[in-house]
Amino acid sequence: MNIALIAHDRKKDDMVDFAVAYEHVLQKHQLYATGTTGKRIMESTKLKVHRFLSGPLGGDQQIGAMVAQNEMDLILFFRDPLMAQPHEPDIIALLRLSDVHNIPLATNFGTAEILVKALERGDFAWRAVVHPMTPEDRA
C-alpha cells in the first residue's frame, strides 16, 4: 500500500515517534512524505521514504495529486490545530480529496494508531480491489 506521512512543525516529533513505534508495519509498504517529515523519519528509522517538497512549497499538493489519481491508499497527517498554517488552502484541498476518493486519513496520533493496527490485521484489503497492483508495483 502507498502511505503518506505528513506532519506540521510542532507535530514532527510525534510523527517520528509514531514511525519508530510502527516501523515493523510501515516497512512493508511504500512510504511517501513531505520534505522535512520524510527526512526526520529516515534519520530515526530504517524506513525508506519517497520525499516530496515541503508542505508549504507544494508537498501537500503532490500527495493530493496521487490521491486524485488513485495512487495513495492511506494518509497519516499529524496536523497542528493550534497554529495557523500559511498553506491552509492546500491542507483543506488534501482533506477534501481524501474524502472525495474515500482515502482513509488520520489527523492525530490516536486515529493513526487505529488505522495502522487495522493495516497490520489486513483490514485494508479492499484497497487492492480499488487500486490493484501492477507487476511494476510488486517489484
Give the residue with greater pLDDT, 102 vs 134: 102
Q: Which amino acid, residue 11?
A: K
Give pLDDT tens digits for 8-40.
999 999 999 999 999 999 999 999 999 999 999
Catalytic residue among 9, 60, 73, 123: 60
What is the Cα–Cα distance from 25 to 118, expressed in whole angstroms? 10
> Does residue 60 have an active-site annotation?
yes
CATH of 2-129, one of 3.40.50.1380, 3.50.50.60, 3.30.470.20, 3.30.360.10: 3.40.50.1380
pTM of structure: 0.88
